[in-house]
Structure 1
Amino acid sequence: MTDNFYMLTWNWLADSPLLAAATEVTTKSDGEEGTFVLAGVLLSLVIIYFASKLGGELCARINLPPVLGELVGGVLVGVSAFRLLVFPESGSLAEDSLIINLLQSTAGMPTEVASSVFASQSEVISLLSELGVIILLFEIGLESDLKELIRVGPIAAVVAVVGVVAPFVAGTLGLIYIFGTPVVPAIFAGAALTATSIGITAKVLAELGELGSEEGQIIIGAAVLDDILGIVVLAVVASLVKTGEIQISNIIYLVISAAVFLIGSILLGRLVSPLLVGLVNEMKTRGQVLLTGLVFAFVLSYIATAIHLEGILGAFAAGLILAETEKRKELEEQVVPLADFFVPIFFVCVGAQTDLSVLNPAVPSNREGLIIATFLIVVAILGKVITGFTVFGNPNLNKLAIGVGMIPRGEVGLVFAGVGSASGALSEATEAAIIVMVISTTFVAPPLLRLVFKETETATEAVDKVQE
């Protein structure tokens, strides 16, 4: 009896014009929402490209790395200034975004869909940003020399290990014994000091024409290893926060998977790359070189992500492998326009998510954070600068440049701060201090890197003149 009642009711609803009308309204609403999301993404890209070119051009004219201008441009359009480009992850709401307000006032977007449009638009831009750093690392891999990286491998390993251990130990112990910070937050802050933003450093090196130098290759190799060690450290600290104990099995898994992935991908890639080149040579359609290279890079990035590593490591490995093929020059030329489209999104988004309000000493909770931040900045800079001086046996190396190249924490440091904040392990002061440290190291490294390389060139020219 009951089943028959439900069946009759369902049949009536299915044939009901009310249900048909409701379905039509819902479908129409979804379609309109998609249109507003697209409009929001397009406006976001306009803002991103305007900010990146304006900042980059200004910095280029005062002899600073353009990437610094992209970061500054991001800060200006982000949460710290004009709030044109804001993200839910920073605690912003739809009404905080000027893009959403513009859509409501000019495109007639209903208020009830503002939140969902804001979330979707932010997610699309974040994904494009992640794709940007993957393409950047693929481009950097193409411009790097695998044989040179292997040659400097032992040196890069020493630089990476010292660059992780020194700031982690100094930062953690300093917070515990000088500032009386509880052990877990101190460990988390110390862990945030270990990271190196390979994306920012690599872009500056490329702009300076030093990517192919021995110093540049050591920095890139050490930064890649830093990423691996940083992942391990983050996993250990996250495990400590969640369980109160360190899971050795998780650490062993991460170390082994990282080593197997990097070595295995390069060895297998050398076997596969001739087949890829042969396949490309047989193709008759347009874009065969670029698309085949991107497919290879995305596959390795996916594998890296699937085994809980960073996707950028896969993209970098793909670039290294394809750089040894006869298609290297052609692929490099074709990747450049693609990088020009995607990479600025990454750097502007890093700047846009940087909240400078933590630098305001008028806010009482920021004062303690600023004092702790000063200590963390000193440790963050010195802990990386000393890494260059651990390199022995080559007096001609610019050791200071190697150390300075390891300074920027960038988006990697923000990941540590974000994980720590989400876990509840960090106090407001400690979280603010980590963010200030990340901001400072990210913005101070590019001009310092240009300065140390310029001084070396000047010194070399002076020696050459004396010898003449």
Structure 2
Amino acid sequence: MNLLPSTLSFSSVRTHLPILAAATDAGTADDALVLAGVLLSLAVIYFTSKLGGEICLRLNLPPVLGELIGGVAIGVSALKLLVFPEGSADAGDSLLMQFLQATSALTPEGSQSVFAVQSEVISLLSELGVVILLFEIGLESDLKELIRVGPQAALVAVVGVVTPFALGTAGLVYLFHVPVIPSVFAGAALTATSIGITAKVLSEIDRLNSTEGQIIIGAAVLDDVLGIIVLAVVASLVKTGEIEISNVIYLIISAGVFLIGAILLGRFLIPFFIRLVDTMKTRGQLLLASLVFAYILSYTAQVIQLEAILGAFAAGLVLAETEKREELAEQIIPVADILVPIFFVCVGAKTDLSVLNPTVPSNREGLILAVFLMVVAIIGKVVTGWSVFGQPGINRLAIGIGMIPRGEVGLVFLGVGSASGALSKPTEAAIIMMVILTTFLAPPLLRIVFGTAETVPTVEEAATEAVEATRKQ
């Protein structure tokens, strides 16, 4: 993910104190000029996100992919409108800083300090955006459906997480000699499945309620939960810089206990929460009270060496079980619309695709890694279709392809890895190419396999056909 200068664990302020200190040595940043730089950056980010999103939407692609590609266009790989200090860039490399100098009282001497602080503010906003994103994903998930999901969908989900993770991590370590921590992070990025992309395609081809469609959706939902736990564990491992079995076991147990405990405690406290919200008369009472709950869980996850995003996701799951779910979902959308695009555009902006230039010999590593990750990304999900049991004649290939797209979920993994500093530039670029290509390939492939293969009818379809056959007799 080449992205945020800070980690999603909000350790960025501590991580970038040297940058801010250097900026202070060069001169104190003018608050008014910092604000001007932030406003200018946000204007560019929002314009880019909407332009890219609108283009992709008209091509039947997820808008988030447009935000990512738009970020690449304005970032270090192309226009250099939005660049960040941790990518070895300075104020002179930023066209926004040059524009600010030309249109304000900012001097070349003071531009570095303004650039450092402005970049830090944008990075923190992007981190807050991913917290809101995971809260929204949790809110959109159905905990009861997760509990009721069949053993087939659960098995597909487990195979779809374990297979690409194991193949990706082992391949990077033993075939390409990539260090263990970056390899584990790249393997974790391969576990993601974008339920939004797959669900949209299945709905368009009228297969959402088919047997295959229900297995795909159930497995994709479980994939999100398992993937977020994997992400929290791997991101926590990056903080220690090494992998110890005892630490891994601790993190896995603590992530599971935290998620289950937060849900159980939340169910106990929710009636009090609802009564409190109902008694409040000020504007925004539901939204702000819910965000307080989400931020407290995010903080708790952070201080026990997990990731804030796991707490945000847990908060969303809990609040999704309340009578306020639909109202809250409507109210969180404008907040997400403001903050989440910053995250995705920053992911793209910090992606240096020049490391994939085939004319440069030193870039061949990134190209080879990208091809390897693409192969693993496809194979690791396609094999999930053959883990389904008790369904003779089912379209197993369609189930496997339905699990391929990484989409926004893969970008979250990329963002956390890039922000942590655990990934090299070739590895980051390879991961982002894998995310883009799987997101592009899955929709047309899914249409093809459903259009050329017979599928097992749903219970409703079978019943309807039986009734019609009886009437004809």
Bucket of the pairwise TM-score, normalised by the shorter protein: 0.7 to 0.9
Instruction: Work out whether 1:347 is the aligned partner of 2:337.
Output: no
Q: Residue 100 of structure 1 contacts residue 118 of structure 1 at CA under 8 Å; is this kept in 2?
A: yes
**Which residue identity is paired with 2:226?**
L
Q: Residue 158 of structure 1 contacts residue 390 of structure 1 at CA under 8 Å; is this kept in 2?
A: yes
Q: State the partner residue of 2:60.
A: 63
Q: Quickly say closer, same or farther: Cα 1:83–1:62, change in 2 above 3 A.
A: same
Q: State the partner residue of 1:328.
A: 325
Alignment counterpart, residue 359 of structure 1, candidates 350, 356, 359: 356
The total of aligned residue pairs comes to 424
**Which residue identity is paired with 1:229?**
V
Instruction: Work out whether 1:229 is the aligned partner of 2:227.
Output: no
Deviations 1:34-58 (A, max 9, x none): 1111111111111111111111111
Instruction: For residue 306 of structure 1, report the CA deviation from its aligned partner.
Output: 1.6
Instruction: For residue 167 of structure 1, report the CA deviation from its aligned partner.
Output: 3.1
Q: Which has the higher helix share?
A: 1
Alignment counterpart, residue 392 of structure 1, candidates 386, 389, 392: 389
Q: Residue 414 of structure 1 contacts residue 438 of structure 1 at CA under 8 Å; is this kept in 2?
A: no
3-state SS of paired residue (2:136): helix
Instruction: For residue 160 of structure 1, report the CA deviation from its aligned partner.
Output: 5.1
Q: Residue 101 of structure 2 contacts residue 107 of structure 2 at CA under 8 Å; is this kept in 1?
A: yes
Decide which moves more: 207-216 or 228-237.
207-216
Q: State the partner residue of 1:37.
A: 34
Q: State the partner residue of 1:185.
A: 179
Q: State the partner residue of 2:4.
A: none
Tell me, in whole angstroms, the C-alpha distance in 2 between the residues paired with 1:49 and 1:409. 21
Q: State the partner residue of 1:271.
A: 268
TM-score scaled to structure 2, two decimals? Answer: 0.79
Q: Quickly say closer, same or farther: Cα 1:324–1:415, change in 2 above 3 A.
A: closer
Instruction: For residue 286 of structure 1, report the CA deviation from its aligned partner.
Output: 1.0
Q: State the partner residue of 2:20.
A: none
Q: Residue 196 of structure 1 contacts residue 227 of structure 1 at CA under 8 Å; is this kept in 2?
A: no
Tell me, in whole angstroms, the C-alpha distance in 1 between the residues paired with 2:373 and 2:183. 8
Tell me, in whole angstroms, the C-alpha distance in 1 between the residues paired with 2:309 and 2:239. 21
Q: State the partner residue of 1:89.
A: 86
Q: State the partner residue of 1:376.
A: 373
Deviations 1:131-183 (A, max 9, x none): 11221222222222110012238666644543444334434554566x5x44x
Deviations 1:101-132 (A, max 9, x none): 11111112022221221111111111111111
Deviations 1:371-394 (A, max 9, x none): 343223212332233235434346
Q: Quickly say closer, same or farther: Cα 1:129–1:387, change in 2 above 3 A.
A: farther
3-state SS of paired residue (1:193): helix
**Which residue identity is paired with 1:251?**
V
Alignment counterpart, residue 434 of structure 1, candidates 427, 444, 453: 427
**Which residue identity is paired with 2:123?**
S
Q: Which runs of 5+ in 1 are unaligned?
A: 1-25, 423-430
- Could you say which structure has the larger radius of gyration? 1
Q: Relative contact order: is structure 1 or structure 2 higher (C-alpha 8 Å, sep ≥ 6)? A: 2
Instruction: For residue 59 of structure 1, report the CA deviation from its aligned partner.
Output: 1.2
3-state SS of paired residue (1:409): helix
Q: Residue 72 of structure 2 contacts residue 349 of structure 2 at CA under 8 Å; is this kept in 1?
A: yes
Fraction of identical pairs, as percent: 54
Q: Quickly say closer, same or farther: Cα 1:411–1:102, change in 2 above 3 A.
A: same
Q: Which runs of 5+ in 2 are unaligned?
A: 1-23, 469-473
Instruction: For residue 188 of structure 1, report the CA deviation from its aligned partner.
Output: 3.5
Decide which moves more: 97-106 or 457-466.
457-466
Alignment counterpart, residue 437 of structure 2, candidates 440, 444, 448: 444
Q: State the partner residue of 2:188.
A: 194
Q: What RMSD over aligned residues (CA atoms) do the two structures have, in Å?
A: 3.4
Q: Quickly say closer, same or farther: Cα 1:37–1:339, change in 2 above 3 A.
A: same
Decide which moves more: 450-459 or 353-362.
450-459
The equivalences for 1:7-406 within 5 A come to 33-152=30-149, 158-159=155-156, 161-175=158-172, 179=175, 181-182=176-177, 185=179, 188-189=182-183, 191-195=185-189, 201=194, 204=197, 214=214, 215-233=216-234, 246-393=243-390, 395=394, 399-406=399-406
Tell me, in whole angstroms, the C-alpha distance in 1 between the residues paired with 2:298 and 2:200. 25
Q: Residue 79 of structure 1 contacts residue 86 of structure 1 at CA under 8 Å; is this kept in 2?
A: yes
**Which residue identity is paired with 1:120?**
V
Q: Quickly say closer, same or farther: Cα 1:317–1:231, change in 2 above 3 A.
A: closer
Q: Quickly say closer, same or farther: Cα 1:382–1:460, change in 2 above 3 A.
A: closer
Instruction: For residue 413 of structure 1, report the CA deviation from its aligned partner.
Output: 3.4
Tell me, in whole angstroms, the C-alpha distance in 1 between the residues paired with 2:245 and 2:262. 25
Q: State the partner residue of 1:13.
A: none
